[in-house]
Amino acid sequence: MWLAHVAAVASLLTLLIAGLAHLADLGGFARQLRDQGVWWDPVVPVVAIGVPIAEVALGATGTGALLAGAVAVLRPTLLFATALFGAYAAFLMWLRHYRRGAPCGCSTGGVPATAWTVVRADVFVAMSAFAYFAVGPAGLPAVETISTVAAALPLALLLWLLPEALVIPRDRFGGGMVNTS
């Protein structure tokens, strides 16, 4: 059960981090969406605001529900998070195949959609689905809450930073980026 809680907090915290990062730089996020070459110009601002709001809402609601022991709120939140991650993973697969080199929109650095960004999205699908099915009916004791957050926070941060870590800057070698996929 503890592992399910870690998976839940890590996936939900990553949504929260992603949403806050996108909201902090709405112009940059909108630019990435335009650079994907998929969205109609009038739709870009709606997507650029709607996606981060959904990420923050799911991340904050789910994390709060888990820490408060409100499983009746947590389970549907995890289900929606799983659906959001699944839709995003499918979109990344499509983007990677049909718009090679387009930004994934998964970070603030304009990282291109790669096999790694797809795998990362799939990891989030697996973690949130696992948490949905495995999370128990009771809240967490205080000591378990501390250990859950202590394990989930670095995992969430590592998964958030993964796409940028897998793109090697070539500034020393003449500009551009090397894609490691």
36-84 pLDDT, tens digit each: 999 999 999 999 999 999 999 999 999 889 888 888 999 999 999 999 9
Q: What is the pLDDT of residues 140-163, one digit of tens each?
A: 566 576 777 777 777 777 777 776
138 or 38, greater pLDDT: 38
Residue 134's pLDDT band, with cuts at 50, 70 and 90, is confident
Secondary structure of residue 139 in the 3-state scheme: coil
Q: What percent of the chain has pLDDT over 70?
A: 84
Decide if pLDDT at 88 tops 60. yes
Whole-model pTM: value is: 0.83
Per-residue pLDDT at 62? 93
Decide if pLDDT at 21 tops 70. yes
Per-residue pLDDT at 45? 96
Decide if pLDDT at 117 tops 70. yes
Rounded alpha-carbon distances, angstroms, from residue 46 to 37, 41, 49, 78: 16, 10, 5, 24
Is residue 36 a contact partner of residue 99, using CB atoms and an 8 Å limit? Answer: yes
Neighbours of 53 (CB within 10 A): 12
User: Where do runs of H (alpha helix) occur along the chain?
Assistant: 2-24, 26-35, 44-68, 71-98, 115-134, 142-165
Number of residues that make up the chain: 181
Which helix (H) or strand (E) element contains residue 114?
none
Is residue 37 a contact partner of residue 99, using CB atoms and an 8 Å limit? Answer: yes
Q: How far apart are CA 111 and CA 114, in angstroms?
A: 9
Instruction: Name the nearest CA neighbour of 23 among 65, 61, 54, 44.
Output: 54
Per-residue pLDDT at 175? 52
Rounded to an integer, the average pLDDT of 11-33 is 93
Secondary structure of residue 168 in the 3-state scheme: strand
Secondary structure of residue 178 in the 3-state scheme: strand
Per-residue pLDDT at 174? 52
